[in-house]
Amino acid sequence: MDYTAVIEYCKETGLYVGYIPGLHGAHSQGETIEELNDNLTEVVKMLLEDGKPVVESEFVGTQILHIG
């Protein structure tokens, strides 16, 4: 099964931080995007071992808001 991950770069820590929208507990971090992907994969595998996780919502997309 494929999951959509949201990834951000934290300037404060220098780490990539990611989570899977709607999948409770599916979040991790890494020094590179590759490390983050590996870590997120491990988290999802652990969640699956505990029973099939229920995706509570589905990622729809992003939108740019123009203010002012």
- pTM, to two decimals: 0.82
| 15 part of a folded domain | yes
| 12 part of a folded domain | yes
| 63 part of a folded domain | no
Domain that holds residue 43: 6-49
Closest to 34 in 3D by CA, of 23, 18, 58: 18
pLDDT tens, the chain, 68 aa long: 889 999 999 999 999 999 999 998 999 999 999 999 999 999 999 999 988 777 888 888 889 999 98
In this structure, are residues 26 and 53 in contact, taking their beta carbons and an 8 Å threshold?
yes
In this structure, are residues 57 and 23 in contact, taking their beta carbons and an 8 Å threshold?
no
